[in-house]
Structure formats: C-alpha cells, structure tokens
Amino acid sequence: MDFEPDPTHAAFREEVRTFTRENVPHDLARRTYIGLHPPLIEDYRRWQRIKHARGWGAPHWPVEYGGTGWSPMQEHIFLEELYRADALDYGWQGTHMIGPVLIAFGSEAQKRRFLPPLLSGEEYWCQGFSEPNAGSDLAALRTRAELAGDEWIINGQKIWTSDAQYADWGFFLVRTDPNVKPQQGISLLLVPMNAPGITIRPIESISGGHELNEVFLDQVRVPRENLVGEPGRGWTYAKYLLDKERTASAYLYQNKRELEKAKEIARAEAVNGRRLIDTPEFAHKLARVEADLLALEWSVLRILCDEHNVHDPVAVVSALKIRGSEMQQRVAQLQIDALGPRALRTFPHYELAAALDVTPLWPSYVRGRTAQFLHLRAATIYGGSREIQKNIIAKRAFGL
Ligand SMILES: Cc1cc2nc3c(=O)[nH]c(=O)nc-3n(C[C@H](O)[C@H](O)[C@H](O)COP(=O)(O)OP(=O)(O)OC[C@H]3O[C@@H](n4cnc5c(N)ncnc54)[C@H](O)[C@@H]3O)c2cc1C
C-alpha cells in the first residue's frame, strides 16, 4: 500500500473544494450541519440538480450513463469534501441502489426511462424490501405479485420504508412464485408510488422526524415491463450491490465530520472555567474515539487500494458496517457528553428545519445533536443488523 499523497489527488481535491465552496447553498448546508433527518426533499432535489449540472450526479456510475470514471480514491476524496462542506449526501436508494441495478440488469427501455430523471433529481426512489415478518430473514417476504395479462397485480405490506411519502417510485421485492425455494421465487418490480391501491402510513421516529412508513399494497397494478431482469432473480439483484459498495457501510465521512463537531462543542463548552476539551476526562474519551476512527479510516483506505480484491467483499462490507455504525453511535454519544445538560433540550423537527436563530443559551452546535443521537440508535439495525453482520462474517470470512 502506498498512501503517499499523489499530486493529481491534491489538484482534484482542490477542484471539488472549489465546487462545494461556490455551489452548496448556505441554507442547505445549515440544515445538513444541524443533521436534519430526514432532510427536506426539496434540498435533495436542488443539490442533486446542482451536482448533475456539473456532471457529478452519480460519480460512481459508468461514464456512458452519466458517471465520471473516477478512481476509488477520487470518489473517496469527493465524499470527504462533500461532508466537509456540509453538502447533502442523501437519496442513496436511487443513485446507489436501484440505479446501479438497472444499469447492470435493466432493459434498455428501463434505462432510458428511469436513469435520466434519477440522475437529475427529478424523480426520487424508495426501497420496499422489509415486511413485518421479513427483516433479517428477508427471504420470508410474503408480498405477492401475480401476472394477469400484461400487468402484475401486487398485494401485501412493506414496513420501515424510508421516504415512501416523498418517493415518486419504489423498487419492491415481491414473491412471484410460491412453489420454489424462498429465494428463487422473489422478483424485483418498479412501482409508481401514486398507483391506485397504495396506502402509506407514517411511523414516527424516536427522534421526532418522519422518515419511516408502512406501505400497504392492495390490488396494485403495474405494467409487465416494470419487472427488472428475469422473474425469480430479485434476490440476486438485491445482493448484487454488496459487491459494488464495499466501503460505504463504514459511514467514514459522516463520522469524521461529526467528530469535528464534537471537538467544536468541547472547545466552546466550559467546566469550572476550563475548556471542556482541555479536561483530562474528556480529552481521554475523545482520544479513544479518534484513534478508533483513524483505524476505521485506514481500513477503508486499505480496501480502496485492494486492487486485487483479496478479501471476501461480502465479509468486508459486514465488518465495516459493524465498526462504522458503532462509531456513529460513539461519536454521537461524545457530542451528547460534551453538551452536558444542554442535550436534554430536544428540538422539534419543524424547529430544526427552520434553523432558527442561535442564542447564547442554544448556540448553533446544540441544535439537532439530541435528535441525531436518538436517530442513530437505529444505525446498528438498518442496512442489516449487527448480529446478522456477525453471522455473515462468521460464514464468509471464517467458513463457520
Ligand atoms: C431507520 C431505518 C430505516 C430503514 N429503511 C428501510 C427501507 O428504506 N427499506 C426497507 O426495505 N427496509 C428498511 N429498514 C428495515 C431494516 O432493513 C430492518 O429493520 C432490518 O433488516 C432488521 O429487520 P427487523 O427490523 O425485521 O428485525 P428482526 O429481523 O426481527 O430482528 C430483531 C432482532 O433479532 C436479531 N436477529 C434476527 N435474526 C437473527 C439471527 N439469525 N441471528 C442473530 N440475531 C438475529 C436482530 O439482530 C435484531 O436485533 C429500515 C430500518 C430502520 C431502523
């Protein structure tokens, strides 16, 4: 491994930094700094439009579909700079999930229809996989789709569907053949979220935000050609992404930015007339988190430089997911510790969205910290729970 700074990387970083300095809207950056979750959908659309105009709507996509052809290190630098500038990094269901799946397995007509509005931020997507009795055990999903003439008719229920209330489209795993092995009877369908028969019911989160939903599908009809790839291959397509997104599960960039905020709080807060960051107790806690985050960063860099893919990619994603999500919770805890009693004041979501003026009592760094701390309790659940990741590592890395 050679991490010596490459002069072309320095120039590239400067290019991205100039772009963010000149283009990230101030109010959007303010809301991202606060950690408004979920963000305003209009912020997502606006920022996606800006990135798209620069040719950076989905840098990791192949060039022929609007990507950039950047190296993994360039993508790494790009994301680092986005977080540094409090630019929004959201809507991964579209750009990082269904987009790459359509590129790999979609029909030409699907690519033509769906990729351009996804890239430009015009159309927003949600992911309909989990069901009340099919989360970790996703293969147990029961939502059915039956072919009737030229249409699929869908019946069933999804749960924990992030942003379903905003989404124009959803990609849904559905059972199309109940008579084969569970994984083999699952297909992937593209569903317009305004289709008759869809009911979206909100689930309020512990943080006060509304991201999650139940989605009920009652005789929902979609055209036959909305099936992605072949029937019965939905499971394969759903797993395909693991190989592509090897380091995203580490949440490295978010962790680094949030650690900076923890330091900012600790520099500003005082205990017995002394800056909190200078007290041995806090300095010790901070150093431990920072050292572990540095270790995570090196793990990510090792994977990015692992050109020969010597590690099992699925086990790598799981290991990074465990460490990354735990780091998110530890960094958030550090922020809460630094805030002390101020952390007890939680701000309603609408107040966070409005980003009200700061006061000496509630400086800018207070707002949103408690909501985010509460939201991040879910970090070790979504995207596959910690226990499931450990099972995967046991199987794939150690053959147990
Ligand atoms: C904030 C948030 C956003 C989400 N967004 C989406 C979304 O947009 N779309 C979507 O489809 N889903 C989404 N999900 C759902 C998420 O994928 C599931 O919550 C997750 O897969 C866990 O499934 P479950 O909730 O059914 O828990 P369960 O599978 O019931 O698990 C409950 C507990 O049992 C443990 N457990 C289960 N099986 C095993 C086992 N074999 N060995 C050891 N322990 C086990 C789990 O680790 C967990 O602690 C979201 C979830 C959250 C919290």
pLDDT tens-digit map of 169-208: 999 999 999 999 999 999 999 999 999 999 999 999 999 9
Cβ 127 under 6 angstroms from ligand 1 = yes
Q: What is the pTM of this model?
A: 0.95
349-396 residue pLDDT tens: 888 888 766 777 788 899 999 999 999 999 999 989 999 999 999 999
Q: Is the CB of 65 under 6 A from ligand 1?
A: no
* Residue 308 confidence class, pLDDT cut points 50, 70, 90: low
Which two three-digit tokens encode residue 27?
């109010």
Ligand 1 nearest-atom number relative to CA 136: 29
Q: Assess whether the C-beta atom of 388 lies below 6 angstroms from ligand 1.
A: yes
Percent of the chain having pLDDT more than 90?
Answer: 85
- Tokens in use for 353? 């969205």
The residue type of 19 is F
- For the stretch 115-134, pLDDT in tens is 999 999 999 999 999 999 99
Rounded to the nearest angstrom, the distance between the alpha carbon of 335 and the centre of ligand 1 is 26
State the distance from the centre of ligand 1 to the C-alpha of 384, rounded, in angstroms. Answer: 6
Confidence of residue 243 (pLDDT cuts 50, 70, 90): low
Query: What is the whole-number distance in angstroms between the Cα of residue 153 and the centre of ligand 1?
Result: 27
* Cβ-based neighbours of 248, under 8 Å, separated by 6 or more: 92, 96
- 37 and 207 Cβ atoms separated by less than 8 Å: yes
Catalytic residue among 151, 214, 245, 351: 245
Question: What pLDDT, on a 0 to 100 scale, did the predictor assign at position 309?
Answer: 67
Residue with tokens 């690519």: 111
Q: Is any ligand 1 atom within 6 A of the Cβ of residue 391?
A: yes
Q: Is the pLDDT of residue 244 over 90?
A: no
Tokens of 193: 């979220």
Does residue 160 line the site of ligand 1, with CB under 6 A? yes
Element (H, E) at 43: helix 41-53
Q: Are strands 125-128 and 169-175 parallel, antiparallel or unpaired?
A: parallel
Spatial separation of the C-alpha atoms in residues 31 and 351, rounded to whole Å: 11
- Cα(161) to ligand 1 centroid in Å equals 12
Look at residue 154 and give its three-state secondary structure. strand
Separation of CA 131 and ligand 1 centre (Å)? 10
245 is catalytic: yes
The CA–CA distances, whole Å, from 377 to 17, 133, 346, 400 equal: 32, 21, 16, 29
Atom of ligand 1 nearest to the CA of 383: 17
Helices (H), 193-345: 234-244, 252-268, 280-304, 313-339
- pLDDT for the residue 3: 61
Distance, in Å, from the CA atom of 211 to the CA atom of 191, rounded to the nearest integer, reads 19
Cα atoms found within 13 Å of the Cα of residue 286, Cβ hemisphere only? 23
Of 50, 49, 67, nearest to 58 (Cα)?
67
* 67 close to 59: Cβ distance less than 8 angstroms: yes
Cβ of 299 below 6 Å from ligand 1? no
Residue 156 vs residues 70, 132, 146, 400: alpha-carbon distances, Å: 41, 10, 12, 35
